[in-house]
A and B are shown apart, each in its own frame.
Chain A
Amino acid sequence: MLEKYLPVLLVLAVAMIFAAVFLGLSFWLGPRRPNAQKNSTYECGIPVRGSTHIRFFVRFFLVAIFFLLFDLEAVFLYPWVLLFQPMLAAGQGIFALAEMGVFVLVLVVGFVYVWRKGGLEWQ
């Protein structure tokens, strides 16, 4: 088990090392002459007005939550997909399709509801 996921960990480590090397190299080669003008926030060159962290459009929240729900749906489809062939081979194809059909249908109902209620509009 572990030897399968060990490469992932090592890729992480190697990437970190390379990134550090490149950052170090640029730190060593590059100039460092900071001044207040240079370090100010760049918003089209005019002085910054007001706070950055204003409240956000509620649309983003809706997108994120619908994404979460449909992502879960897709994730739950994966186990079914893996089982489809064995079930097909065992002559249970209709049953397999029905299992997923019910699951997807319920979500399609939700999807149609959101669509009809205008939850998918970006206004």
Chain B
Amino acid sequence: MEAMYAFFMDTAGMDEMAAHITVAVIMATIMFIVMALCAIIFTWMERKVAGFLQSRYGPMRTGRWHGWAQAVADMLKILGKEDIIPAEADKPYFIFAPLLVLLGSLLAWAAIPWAPGFVAADLDLGLFYIFAVTSLVVLGILMAGWASNNKWALYGAARGAAQMVSYEIPLLLATIPVVLYTGSLNTQDIVIAQQGGVLNWFVFRDPFLFIAFWMYFIASIAETNRGPFDMPETESELVAGYHTEYTGMRFAFFFLAEYANLFLVSMIAVMVFLGGWWSPIPGLDFAPAACFVVKGVLMVFLNMWVRWTLPRVRVDQLMHLCWKVMIPVTLVCVVGAGIWMMASGAVG
């Protein structure tokens, strides 16, 4: 980032504002491309993981080696699909809803620190900002369900929104103990505070943080509407949930947003609990961005493993788990981490 600023200001002779704008546009473009790549790679990965977990192969033909080109082919195919807008739909909102879902997740990506100094929007309130903009996703889903004018879509959207807002509370509360330690919401500061090997990562700092991490993990699965919490799209009862009426590119946006969100929550887990760009062994930090991405992909794998292993829960079980188990436990974690910090005299 610094190097980019220096390049645009000194070599290209821009003033500070122009350099800022140029760098931001470049970063945003990178984000979007990485996000699109993510969707392609993770769809393939999901199908392979699902296949192997269920003792089958998954895609094997397209592109010869383990069907690696399957997702690319799917993406190209979807470009050539007809974009159907149902006659009953509320047109402008039907069109706008997938964009809102995509925007919510891409805006949150902007505050993710990939490597020291390499973050599109370096905000003092970074973590807070991430949680704020992801709430746009909920609205996009509600809007999609409403505008489709389809009973299943609407019901799926209402379920999805209820689930996402419920699990947002444990998600917020689970990250609070970490912020107690860092004393800052800046995403880079949170990562920097975890320097020095695996034992300095926040998961292993104290027992409450360890519990908070798993609470965060469960809440993040629910937040991305994936199994075993995929109530919004239960295909056996709601056709496909809130995106039943969507086709072609607009459907692809929902799809893209789902995988972008999956990687987003995984990256937040890495950033907040798993040491961000630091490698597990102190002193081996020659490739911070690679380290960050590898950890993120491992979290995604864990998420997929859970999805394809556990059966879907019922709505009442889902709400029960959130309100009666996770919220009390995360609250205890917050208070416990505070007391632990005071008792152990650990600061910073």
Contact = CB atoms under 8 A, between A and B. Distances in A.
Interface string B77-110: 0111111111110000000000100110011011
B148 to A, nearest CB: 8
A31 B249 CA distance: 12
Contact of B32 (A15, A60, A86): A15
Nearest to B178: A81
Contacts of A8: 107, 110, 121, 123, 129
B335 A101 contact: yes
B185 A97 contact: no
Interface residues of B, number: 82
B27 to A, nearest CB: 7
A113 interface: no
Given A56-B158, A82-B185, A63 B166 contact: yes
B82 A42 contact: no
Nearest to A23: B249
Contacts of A4: 121-124
A78 B80 CA distance: 47
The dominant DSSP class at the B interface is helix
B342 A97 contact: yes
Contacts, number: 210
Nearest to A108: B331
A70 B170 CA distance: 10
A78 B165 CA distance: 18
A64 interface: yes
Interface stretch (B218-226, B266-274, B320-328): B320-328
10 contacts: A11-B121, A12-B107, A13-B28, A14-B29, A26-B81, A26-B249, A67-B169, A70-B327, A71-B168, A120-B323
Interface of B: 16-17, 20-21, 24-25, 27-29, 31-32, 78-88, 99, 102-103, 106-107, 109-110, 120-124, 128-129, 148-152, 154, 158, 161-162, 165-166, 168-169, 172-173, 176, 179-180, 183-185, 239, 244-245, 248-250, 252-253, 315-316, 319-320, 323-324, 327-328, 331, 334-335, 338-339, 341-342, 347-348
